[in-house]
Chains A and B, each alone.
Chain A
Amino acid sequence: MAMLSRVAESLYWMSRYLERAENTARMINANANMMLDLPRDIRPSWDSLLTITGSEETFGTRYSSPNEGQVTRFLISDAGNPGSILSSLRAARENARSIRDILQREGWEHINELYLKAMARIPDSESPKRRFAYLDDIILSVQGIAGLIAGTMSHDEAYEFVRLGCDLERADMTTRILDVRWGDLSPDAKESLKPFENLLWMSVLKSMTAYHMYRRHCQTAVGRDSVVKFLMEDRLFPRSCHYCLRDMQDALNHLPQGNCVREKLSEATALVQDEEARRRTELRRFIDDLQVKLGEIHDALSGCYFDVEKMSPQQKQPACCNA
């Protein structure tokens, strides 16, 4: 029996939202850590996190100034921010709820519990003292759910959609983080931050829990080019763009159709691997290009598997795949 498109889409988004919640939690903790290491007068403002998540505008309509308290509340618990951790967990839960017949019982229960726990403990997230533990708990819980799914769900088509959602969200977040940190450090950025450049790149690694793996696998000091290279190209680190794209290729091999997605994936992989020189000179534009590619991968997935309404019954195949 072929899988319903709606079910595939719900699995995909459930996975993306879980990954998004985890990534946002990592990012906030890494940023807070970095801030503590920088002299008070030259700390970059918290609004760089808004830029990473592309939510400056929404923030502006709801808050007065991007200080630590307001930004973290906006990113963690604000129900009016569709990208906040709690909104993401809630969306993951709603998606999971609609496919309870597909997901194993424990999968649904853990996602449900995570949301309820995160809601109940919102006051912790608002205390700078307890926030770290709060976010760390969310990261571990999402990892637990991911482990449960990987370890107890049949690696069938449903599982491949979970994988696709997770990989794409990860690759997306990796490029976003690089983009913004590059903004903090671009030549026209504050001269005063220069001495702390390595510290900032270290925080980039830490926001992806990549620091230790970087140390083990790259025998170089933490610097811009080597960090970007690691997060882009490393073949073994599961949060690098290249790894995510390759894992998506693999997932697609277990699904029917999908040629148009494969094509977009190859293009993105080529960009990640072949453009090292360009990354050195025009990182920002390079990342823009890559983000466009990631967007195209999502669109191709949608066109191929989710928006089946675009096909006519006579055609019986998604339009993109006949091309």
Chain B
Amino acid sequence: MSLALQDYPNPDCFDELIDDDGAPRPHARALFDHLDSFSETDIQERKAATEAEILSMGITFTVYCENEGSIDRAWPFDVIPRLIRAEEWRTVERGLKQRTRALNLFIDDVYHGQNIVRDGVFPRELLADSRNFRPECVGIDPPLGVWAHVCGTDLVKDKDGRFYVLEDNLRVPSGVSYMLENRLVMKRVLPELFESYAIAPVDDYPAQLRQCLASLAPVANPQIVVLTPGIYNSAYFEHAYLAQQMGAELVEGRDLVVGSDDRVYMRTIEGLHKVDVVYRRIDDLFLDPEAFHPESVLGVPGLMRAWKKGNVALANAPGAGVADDKVVYTYVPDIIRYYLNEEPILPNVPSYRCVDPEECRYVLDHLDQLVVKPANESGGYGMLIGPKASEEERAEFAERIRQDPRNYMAQPMLTLSTAPTLVDHRAEPRHLDLRPFILSGRDTYVTNGGLTRVALKKGSTVVNSSQGGGSKDTWIIDGKGA
């Protein structure tokens, strides 16, 4: 048989589709029965067809390089889907809704009464030092009281086969376009498989996003725009894609102007047109040179002014990133209990806060077993992976932690789950994570599944596309499959 599951290495972790005895899990049986019927040529053909589809559909991501400024690369995609049972997903979905509801209440509180600080649940000094706390946002009431409208929460499975929340991305999370395109590719390349499973569709995301954004405006048919930093941004493909799919206008900062009436307009060949909702994909600090970095040319002077007056809705709201902080993350279970009076449905990865002297001591004593993360970096920058670091690196990092304990948290090394991934002609286990997207407007919506990212290098746990990661289609399946 072509996929040679009997040779599938028994990984020392949880595998999504294969059990400890090397047999497909019940819900994956139909998938492997089907793949088994393929000859090696079949598999190679499907793989080639996938690559051709991806090229011709123009699914690219941008990598920075020296000569040309940037270059578009085809999106690395694996044809073996990742399957998640609907029963399991329904719990995750409830957990994600609970989490974003609490996070939104937290952000709103932080910019208003700060009750959570007053009640001693969240330390005041953490807010004072937070790099993503925006004093400019204090006292502002965004529409519906929602700050984080689009949230990308990273989930991982540990050895026990349970989902854990690794982090919440509330600034400008990306990847949703690849989730949508992955499904399209799968439908074209392996249509027969869709007969065997009842797979929850994903393609209503753009409509849901539009509805979420529209719910932020007081008018019936609001003018929505997607604000992009431009063609050199690594997620430009996604910005253009979402704008197109939503029927919104894709704009750059220079396309918008804030009038002396504190309203936002876009420059068209017919003059200025009022804009009601901005789905911004530019970081806070570049959003408005009047309010933040004065030298930034990406943003729109006066945008904050218009937002504060309630003349335009910004998604995500400026300042929402205050909850997108790896130290704040460690408080999310408490935040859920505090605002909702509920137990968290989805657990955090166990974490140590260096701001707590006792936990900090533990971290410093066990650096060789822990992953240490700075509060506000993203994309895996500035981390220490203890077990893989040298003695000097650990010593140097320990010094950094002592200098600025508030800026660090630590977690035990997780053993990320794996799933069979096509490598040459064989299925091999590769580590993966999952990024579902949660929309919060008048209603809350969670994507059916999300973007599964795969570390294509053997043994690697780095799933970022800029560092050799790829992706898989993620199927939420009802029943066991035929």
Chain A residues in contact with chain B, CB under 8 A? 1-6, 8, 94, 97-98, 100-101, 105, 157, 255-257, 304-305, 308-309, 311-314, 316-318
Q: Does B43 contact A (CB under 8 A)?
A: no
Q: Does B271 contact A (CB under 8 A)?
A: yes
- In the complex, chain B residues 434-464 whose Cβ is within 8 Å of any chain A Cβ: none
Which A-B residue pairs are the 7 nearest by beta carbons?
A: A313-B259, A308-B267, A2-B268, A2-B270, A5-B267, A305-B269, A316-B271
Q: Residue among B243, B255, B271 with the most chain A CB within 10 A?
A: B271
Other A-B contacts than A2-B271, A4-B249, A309-B267, 5 sampled, CB-CB below 8 A, are A8-B269, A101-B244, A256-B270, A313-B259, A314-B261
Chain B residues in contact with chain A, CB under 8 A? 58, 230-231, 240, 243-244, 249-252, 254-255, 257, 259-261, 263, 265-273
Query: Would you give the shortest CB distance from B62 to chain A, in whole angstroms?
Result: 11
Q: CA of A318 to CA of B257 in the docked complex: distance in angstroms?
A: 14
Cβ of A6 and Cβ of B259 under 8 Å apart? no
Partner of B255, one of A4, A257, A316, A318: A4
Given that A4-B251, A314-B261 are contacting pairs, would A256 and B230 also be in contact in the complex, using a CB cutoff of 8 Å? no
Cβ of B257 and Cβ of A309 under 8 Å apart? yes
- Chain A residue contacts of B243, Cβ below 8 A: 101
Given that A97-B231, A101-B243 are contacting pairs, would A316 and B269 also be in contact in the complex, using a CB cutoff of 8 Å? no
Cβ of A2 and Cβ of B269 under 8 Å apart? yes
Given that A5-B255, A101-B244, A312-B260 are contacting pairs, would A255 and B58 also be in contact in the complex, using a CB cutoff of 8 Å? no
- Chain B residue contacts of A2, Cβ below 8 A: 268-271, 273
- Chain B residue contacts of A97, Cβ below 8 A: 231
Cβ of A308 and Cβ of B249 under 8 Å apart? no
Cβ of A318 and Cβ of B267 under 8 Å apart? no
Given that A4-B255, A314-B260 are contacting pairs, would A308 and B268 also be in contact in the complex, using a CB cutoff of 8 Å? yes
Query: Would you give the shortest CB distance from B222 to chain A, in whole angstroms?
Result: 13
Chain A to chain B contacts (Cβ below 8 Å), 16 pairs? A1-B249, A2-B270, A3-B270, A4-B266, A6-B254, A255-B269, A256-B270, A257-B269, A257-B270, A305-B269, A308-B257, A308-B271, A312-B259, A313-B257, A313-B261, A316-B271
- Chain B residue contacts of A105, Cβ below 8 A: 58
Q: CA of A178 to CA of B202 in the docked complex: distance in angstroms?
A: 61
Query: Would you give the shortest CB distance from A258 to chain B, in whole angstroms?
Result: 9
- Chain B residue contacts of A309, Cβ below 8 A: 257, 267
Query: Would you give the shortest CB distance from B214 to chain A, in whole angstroms?
Result: 16
Given that A101-B243, A313-B257, A313-B260 are contacting pairs, would A3 and B250 also be in contact in the complex, using a CB cutoff of 8 Å? no
Partner of B271, one of A8, A100, A318: A318
Query: Would you give the shortest CB distance from A109 to chain B, in whole angstroms?
Result: 9
Q: CA of A255 to CA of B270 in the docked complex: distance in angstroms?
A: 9
Q: CA of A157 to CA of B261 in the docked complex: distance in angstroms?
A: 30
Closest residue of A by beta carbon distance from B241 = A101
- Chain B residue contacts of A4, Cβ below 8 A: 249, 251, 255, 266-269
Given that A4-B249, A6-B255, A314-B259 are contacting pairs, would A98 and B231 also be in contact in the complex, using a CB cutoff of 8 Å? yes
Query: Would you give the shortest CB distance from A225 to chain B, in whole angstroms?
Result: 41
- Chain A residue contacts of B268, Cβ below 8 A: 2-5, 308
Cβ of B269 and Cβ of A3 under 8 Å apart? yes
Query: Would you give the shortest CB distance from A115 to chain B, in whole angstroms?
Result: 11
Query: Would you give the shortest CB distance from B293 to chain A, in whole angstroms?
Result: 20
Q: CA of A95 to CA of B7 in the docked complex: distance in angstroms?
A: 51
- Chain A residue contacts of B244, Cβ below 8 A: 101
Closest residue of A by beta carbon distance from B243 = A101
Closest residue of B by beta carbon distance from A157 = B269
- Chain B residue contacts of A101, Cβ below 8 A: 240, 243-244, 250
Cβ of A308 and Cβ of B272 under 8 Å apart? yes
Q: CA of A164 to CA of B360 in the docked complex: distance in angstroms?
A: 67
Q: CA of A97 to CA of B257 in the docked complex: distance in angstroms?
A: 23
- Chain A residue contacts of B230, Cβ below 8 A: 98
Closest residue of B by beta carbon distance from A3 = B269
Cβ of A313 and Cβ of B263 under 8 Å apart? yes
- Chain B residue contacts of A313, Cβ below 8 A: 257, 259-261, 263, 265, 272
Q: CA of A97 to CA of B233 in the docked complex: distance in angstroms?
A: 13
Q: CA of A97 to CA of B231 in the docked complex: distance in angstroms?
A: 7
Cβ of A100 and Cβ of B240 under 8 Å apart? yes
Query: Would you give the shortest CB distance from A312 to chain B, in whole angstroms?
Result: 7
Cβ of A316 and Cβ of B272 under 8 Å apart? yes
Closest residue of B by beta carbon distance from A108 = B58
Closest residue of B by beta carbon distance from A313 = B259
- Chain B residue contacts of A308, Cβ below 8 A: 257, 267-269, 271-272
Query: Would you give the shortest CB distance from A89 to chain B, in whole angstroms?
Result: 14
Cβ of A317 and Cβ of B271 under 8 Å apart? yes
- Chain B residue contacts of A255, Cβ below 8 A: 269
Closest residue of B by beta carbon distance from A90 = B68
Query: Would you give the shortest CB distance from A194 to chain B, in whole angstroms?
Result: 50
